[in-house]
Structure 1
Amino acid sequence: MGLGNCYADLQPRTELGLPKGLSLAESDSVLGCTALFHSMEIRHMRVKSKLFLLLGLLMIVALAAAGCALPMVADEHTHEDGADHTHDEEMPDGGFVIGVSNTLVGNGWREQMICAIKAEATASGMVDEVIVVNRNGGPTEQIADLEGLISQGVDAIILNPTDREGLNAVIEAAIAQGIVVVAVDQAVTAEGAYVATNDQTAYARLGAEWLFETLGGSGKVVEMRGIDGVPADTDRHNGFMEALANYPDIEVVASTFTGWDPSTGAQQALDLITTQEIDGIWTSGIDYPVVEQFQVADKPFVPIVGADNNGFVAQLLDLADEGLVGAAVTNPPAIGAVGTSIAIDALLGNNPPHETILTPKVFATDNTDGLNAIYAPDEQVGWSTYVDIEPFTHYNGSADVSACKAPGE
């Protein structure tokens, strides 16, 4: 009997419910062997019975053939011991070591930044140790410090960078070894690095605009900058110049670099106010020492722009009746805690955004409620009380930051 006769009464395989992995050609071969083997019995069956028998044989043999034809492969989630090892390589659940690189010593803002890093590391419960490398220096010294942290096997590095591009090679080397790197306060351009910073350009522009408006759009002003060449100083100077471009009658009679050192800024301010006619002063955060020099020289106050340093905020509140007019622009040292939170998030595999920028706020002397809200009578003069930054910080406010305790300390 020919194989064609065996299929004479069959419908297409999709209607018969044949396994989709079995082709009609394969069915022909299987059925041929089976039909020939049972030819005598099938010859006496009714057509309907023949159809169902053939269908059953086709399905059984096809499934067997398919099983023999396919190689035996283990499911990707199953091993020989029968256990599910899908999550064998789970993300770490803590025990991290965080390295910190700071290159400006004796500055209250930087001290609080480091304490905020420690406080957030402790509050997270995910960090075992914080290693702080703290000294005065530039890019050369910071590169050496970063290399040292890498050699100590830290899991993450938080740095306040001395250069936007000059540290890229060592930062990228750290990232290549699986170390999470977060630049805080100032930006870097290294591939793969995280950046968490106040908007430094806006910081300067907002403060300068307030000053120029307060002066009525004309007058002689001083620009007291930070450290020459570092990213934050460059960004702030750019912001200052952006504002200045809209006030053609404002004259900048002096521009200094304070190094963000209170004593240096104080001496510069004293020299300026005793030798020049000045209508207003914009500072890059060295503010309360400048106010003090007007008192030392017994000179009337001029409008002054500073940061949200506790000492300056106190002066704006306490000396308003004596004629002091000023504005505090926020630049919270708690950005260190923000960087810590981002580093931990990255170590846990949560893929946080690579850039986090805080928008500064301006608190002027006509906003006493706002100034009182950010003032803490018992806090250090060079520290900020603006320490809670949602959703990044998890410590207990200024108390934990002031304690300045890393895990294990």
Structure 2
Amino acid sequence: MNFLNSGGIQRRDFLQVGALAGIGLGLPEYLALAGEGAEQATAKAKAAIFVRLGGGPSHMDTFDLKPDAPDTHRGEFKEIATSVPGIRICEHLPKLAQCADKYVILRGVSHNLAAHELGVQYLGTGNRPVPALRYPSYGAVVAKELTSPRDLPPYVAIPTESGYATGYLGVEHGPFETGPMPQAGKPMRVRGLTLGNGVTLADVDRRQDMLKRYDSAFGDFAKRDKLLTGMDEFSQRAHAMMRSDKTREAFDLGRESATISGLFGTDSFSQSCLLATRLVGAGVRFVTVNLDGWDTHSDNFRALKTQKLPVLDSGLSGLFLALHEKGLLESTAVLVTGEFGRTPTINARAGRDHWPRAMCCLLAGGGIQGGRVIGESDAKGEGPKDTPISPDNVAASFYQTLGIDPRKEYHTPTGRPVMLVRDGAPIRDLLG
């Protein structure tokens, strides 16, 4: 559309976007790019949490140790028993060991894309990237398919989401990004929800009323324009969110009980996981939580032992236990993954490099029975022992827990038919 050649639309669009942007609020811009879809009533999971471990964690130093492998592969860490007989994981994940009955470990997940960006897209969409098409993230698909309360965003990213998030579905299904990460003991100022600079809800109400008057003035002309109709819709939702006590309370960690808060550490990842449980409990359909820093080409063991593993252990165990205590684990699907694993061999810098041929993922909730290991890597952790599990299979399984058909056909803006998960099928026996 050429806004410069449509005078009424130009003025109307300025008022629509600028009315709230002019007072420092980013929420309407987000909501003008978010939409609703039809819920699958038969799904066991009604919401999902995607924990993205950016950089690619070492499978052999976390959930797939090889104590009998040669010194060139084995690494410095020892295995410990978990609460499930026969399942053993890294000694630096003791809290996750104690709640191993809550999740499934997928071993022998395998692909061949060793570049970060490509791996992130593959594991974040379930489709191998191709130059001519951008596939949508899990969050965008869930935001399209599942309805959510009008005063809550359907898709939240803590703190931000990757650039590929919406793919061919379009920006209307994009995430609401919190901006800052939550910090223990401090009020969270969520971008777009927190009023500042003397702005009050009365100011927002007056601007909303002004937009309604312009809606009437432009009449059917504006209604026939898809962009303006969408802007009207989402501006109203933005207004509902800013006025909603439910929304503010969902983002307020200070309202959480001491019993639940005590399951988490005070680091920002743990607090993000706590926030994720509050959001899905309030009705948000999809939450992405990011924990970066796993690209350990050097000093792998020190970095994991002193930094990454304690943080992961505290936040992720808290997530599983809090969902269980709140009665939300059965209705919330959880996927934990990086973009690839790391080399079974240890390099000269005491690090491990990119290795997509073998990696681990965790799945939980949504009807998945925890306390199991599915798949297996070979004796040295170099690849799958038998049948590999592809990222496509992981994605199909994740969607299945939400009642979303992984073979559903979508259409790109040019009309090209595209299957939601092009090559994958749900993992046999995962849901029982």
TM-score by length of 2: 0.30
Say which structure, 1 or 2, has more relative contact order (CA 8 Å, 6+ apart).
2
